[in-house]
Amino acid sequence: MLIPLNLSNKLGSIFQIHKEKFILKKELILIQTYGIKKKDSYTCTDIKELKELLWELSTHNIYKRIVIDSISTLNIENNIILLFRLLKIKGVDIVLVCFEHEKLWYVDKILG
């Protein structure tokens, strides 16, 4: 299946933010990987669920920012990083909430 790209889009970015600095705003989609489901969020407790949801989100141009809380609880595979980059090309920012302070190798910038 081909995913339409809008070439006029600005490129998105992949951000990393530490758990303590995480603030939820309304103009984004929240994907939780653990804990009690928050209102208006998705829950993906394993990598397969996350892949399926990211693929679905990549076929629609609804959200400009996706927050994954917390990326630390999943074993990230290369195909997930490719989905992050696909969304980035489509102009979507990916914000990875994590427990680590060291920058993840596939992240563009650390926030905060």
Q: How far apart are CA 46 and CA 18, in angstroms?
A: 21
CB-CB contact of 13 with 90 (8 Å): no
List pLDDT tens digits, range 21-62: 666 666 688 888 887 777 888 998 889 999 999 988 888 777
Is the confidence at residue 4, as pLDDT, over 80? no
Share of the chain above pLDDT 70, in %: 84
* Domain residue ranges in the chain: 14-111
* Sign (positive or negative) of CA dihedral 51, 81, 29, 8: negative
